[in-house]
Chain A
Amino acid sequence: MTYRTDIQFVLNGRDVSVPNVSADQTLLDFLRLERRLTGTKEGCAEGDCGACTVLVGRLGDAGLTYVPVNACIRFLASVDGCHVVTVEHLSGPDGRLHPVQQAMIDHHGSQCGFCTPGFVMALYALWMQTPEPSEAQVETALQGNLCRCTGYEPIIRAAVAVSRYGTPASDHLNTERDAMTARLAALKDGRRVVSGPKDSLSILPSSVDDLAECLQAYPNATIVAGATDVGLWVTKFLRNIGPAIFTGHLEDLKTVKRQGSLLLIGAGASYTDCQDLLSEHLPHLSSYWDRIAGWQVRNMGTVGGNIANGSPIGDTPPVLIALGAEITLRRGTECRTLPLNEFFIDYGKQDRQPDEFVASIQVPLPGPNDLDAAYKISKRRDEDISSVAVGIHMTIEEGTISNARIAFGGMAATPKRASAAEAALNGRPWSRESFEAAALALPQDFSPLTDWRASSDYRMLTAQNLLRRFFLENDAQTDTPVQLAYA
């Protein structure tokens, strides 16, 4: 088989072919250093500030869709077959300022201006998706953009006014959509791509079967899906991730669908890809999902990656464990399925062989007598890593609790179930006393750490109080709000 060795994509208006792309080359460095497109800025190199926001258009099953991403932690190899749009491309062929740009100017949305191109790109993406957003939608879209000067007020005013300056239908990304679709379709040659120097290979399998083959050939390869964690291994820890196998382009790995009483989530589906289906079938995850990182990271990061990297503070494992999720791993042509909580063995250790990959997650849908909740506590409400996260699931039949599954993040070296608290609830009546007993049992389950996100005492007290919150929130006697509302 002959492999393609260059990475091909469309950059703004031009077709680009880059040979010899090493695994750790970032899109941001390529834009700034090699193409001198310096409108895209480096603010943090970890996907937290949004100064490097660019749009990536990908031709998928649903057609050509553009999403904002962080160029700083996006690897160049992963934009193969995509349309990359930077701030320099915004004003379009006639050179007139874009509606987003004009609105930002008229509302005094920039002060030092360094974060501004990133804001402009995020707002551009929002406007294309939601031309007349509410303030709440703007805030959600801007969770991944930091501004230190303005206090955001003028930016929000600009964002809600953009539609007065123009409509997405006349935007050149839309008017040129058919032509770009054709250009990107032409780039899909169905071949495996192997690029870069020997010690830092970038490998893009041509299909999921090819991914399995690649892993057998390179069992120590780093699997890179959204790169929202692996990106930092490179930008922060200077780790050599080669050979790296990129999976972001594998449509078959992105399936998100309901299958009978299960939700099936392909391991390559981004948080954004899952959002609609989850909100429909698991409404308790709707606002929780909006608090996973920022928009750019949700467009890149995957549920599969969040699980596979084994972090004790990933947002999705606790809530998925509570729901009774299972994961399927694949090695060569063989698949195996196990309960998600069994995947996490110890800190940094998961039940995955080197040549094995997470293929999918199966989430059983709750029944009519089930109660579910997902809570996340963090120092800052949005775009922060949890100090404590919890998924709670239980069945209430005739006033009695059964089937309690309570899983915490941030309380132990892995995402972990609170067995003693669960035991204190199962078979007990739905009552304040039962939850009090569960709260008091939590110290048997956990001895949390103290670190910069929270002290051990705070983690424990909050974890206990989240069980109390769950009771109050679902108890018929409660007649006052027990949780802050934001929108």
Chain B
Amino acid sequence: MGELFASYNILGAFGLTILLAVFSAIGSLLIGTVVAIMRVSPIDFLNKVGAFYVNIVRNTPLTLIIVFCNIGFIVNLGMSFTNDIARNNIIWAIIGLSFYHAAFVCEALRSGVNTVPVGQAEAARSIGLTFSQSLSEVLLPQAFRGAITPLGNTLIALTKNTTVATAIGVAEISGLMKEMMEFRADLIIVIFLLVAIGFVILTLPIGILTTRLSTKLAVKR
């Protein structure tokens, strides 16, 4: 075991996994909120674009999206952020993960909006708030609180899905695990348990935290 840690940069790879998860979480929350606003907005066109986006992304395998980020965006559209191939792939993996999970964040927020009683929206309108005002002052704050459980679930799924970034050669933990298993076939079970427990340690607190938060922040009605 110590031998594994000595010859492979396990902590570094887990660090990259966490980095991917944190930045993709921020990205997907931002994009998902924008799409959710489009989905509830009075402008029919934006509504349809949002629905189209969610339907396409939700029904496409993440592996395909990540691979397309590399050969579609980097190679064909020439969208590179840096000359360093490894770093560029990390950035595009984050973008791909963000756009994929944004669809689920959007759905979570919509379910959150549905927990807000109709009277709240009507009250907001009757005191003269515009759509954007009632959304930002009244509805979204409550929707976020009502959507904590599905948002937490999306965050957990996202943390686990960072492993798919290995498809474009990002050196996160699952790629390292595969390499370790090929060279140390005698330690397959130890290696698996090591990585699996690492993920349990990463995801379990998110689950416990969201369960706590969702009861603590639940809007009393």
Partners in one complex: no
